[in-house]
Structure 1
């Protein structure tokens, strides 16, 4: 008798991208490869007793991978989560037709004030790790602190941002910081300058999220993954 797979086993990857220093253009020989993935569960599973929405998944293998179910991914995206927005712009490892549509939702997903709050909160977390010399790698967190704020300014000004930050005007300076060639005051001053710049940009930013468009995409994919 052939057993049919349970709903837990039947997920489909929509999108997998390369992130981290290799995507940013700041990698060294020691840098690991990091990935993010978005997947969808069968819609029927959501109607089962005791259903709990999938939490964020972290796995280690040839590279570290963070994965979200598409519903949670979109919810976090509407909150301006920088890791989510970055996933929609990062170099593609694999993407099906749904994943390609997902990447096109970036303009509808974010709003200026939520993005400002989420990016600056993330940057503050990286700054704390930098100052506390977490893992003995303060340069890594110093670069992340600056990179996130630089990306925020790009987002508020243009509606998008560079993943390969090495190719931006900040690239050479960030590469130097990532390699430990910095002064504490230089990093802190630059971070404060970028935060102030973002504050000025948000005052004139007119982009807004489009929740009906997001909900339409989510309803469409849920119907598509519901067996007849």
Structure 2
């Protein structure tokens, strides 16, 4: 466990990334994500922690990202794709009673426009980065572009499912197809197949009636945060 994070202040922890998506290869790392709670008294001193200080990186040398619960809730309310996966995993390494409540409220974080903007916006910006990377002669066939392309395609599929059905399936349904898609983009500096895929999902979002409300429902989320803060006033979560 990352120094300073223990079972006492972790609310949720799970394996994310390629291992969770079903896209891991022989050389793939194991990535971890989690939500922890900081002692409530820290937020009432002269120097409360900054937003940047509310994220902890690393887990015994492995890639890991842990957000303090207040920051995590803000990311989830913005439908941040990187934060959303943790609430929809089939299994968790750590899952406390408060973590159970977070998972139980996962649909309260969902708002149609925020899902659309978060997933399509992120995918569009990542497509631009992938094209720019492909225009560099030394990286035109870089295998990192292959992984990058799979990542964008997966995000588009998951974001659309969340928008259309109000749920998110973390493990991809057809890993072979996504692998082949990544290979096709790897050797195409302009990533035309990804550009076509992005356009297709824009059309799908535009023509689909979402299964989620227009706006999130934050009231029970705020109530949960208040109870977590009270329970952790002295640094010991209930």
Q: TM-score, normalised by structure 2?
A: 0.82
Are the structure 2 counterparts of residues 200 and 29 from structure 1 closer, same or farther at C-alpha, using a change threshold of 3 Å? same
Describe the SS at the equivalent of 1:28. coil
Q: Quote the Cα distance in structure 2 between the aligned partners of 1:186 and 1:22.
A: 25
Report the equivalent of 2:219. 212
Corresponding residue of 2:88: 89
**Residues of 2 paired with 1:83 and 1:72: CA distance?**
13
Equivalent position of 2:47 in the other structure: 50
> Is the CA contact (8 Å cut-off) linking 1:43 and 1:225 kept in structure 2?
yes
Deviation at 1:104, TM superposition (A): 1.5
How far is 1:175 from its partner? 2.2
Structure 1 residues 183-192 or 216-225, which shifts more? 183-192
Select which of 9, 12, 18 maps to 2:9.
Answer: 12
Aligned alpha-carbon RMSD (Å): 2.3
Contact 1:126 1:144 in 2 (8 A): no
* CA distance in 1: counterparts of 2:130 and 2:5, whole angstroms: 40
Aligned residues: 216
Match of residue 152 from structure 1: 159
Matched-pair contact (CA < 8 Å) for 1:132–1:138: no
Q: 1:124 to 1:108 in 2, by over 3 A?
A: same
Residue aligned with 1:30, SS: coil
Residue correspondence of structure 1 range 116-131 to structure 2 within 5 A:
116-131=116-131
Distance in 2 (CA, whole Å) between partners of 1:196 and 1:19 is 29
Runs of 4+ in 1 over 6 A off after TM superposition: 8-11
Partner of 1:33: 30
- Residue pair 1:152, 1:198 contacting (<8 A) in 2 also: no
Separation of aligned partners in 2, 1:60 and 1:12: 15
SS at match of 1:50: coil
Cα distance, 1:58 vs structure 2: 2.4
What per-residue deviation string (whole Å, max 9, x for no partner) do you get for residues 28-68 of structure 1? 10111111111001111211111124333322644200110
Q: CA-to-partner distance for each residue in 1:125-152, whole Å, 9 max, x for gaps?
A: 3212322337731011111111111111
- Asked if the contact 1:22/1:33 (under 8 Å) is kept, the reply is yes
1:44-97: per-residue Cα shift (whole Å, max 9, x none)? 121111112433332264420011000010011111111111111124122111
CA distance change for structure 1 residues 172 and 198 in 2, over 3 Å: closer, same or farther? farther
1:175 to 162, 179, 199: 179
Gaps of 5+ in 2: none
Give the alignment's TM-score, normalised by structure 1.
0.86
1:156 Cα offset (Å) = 0.9
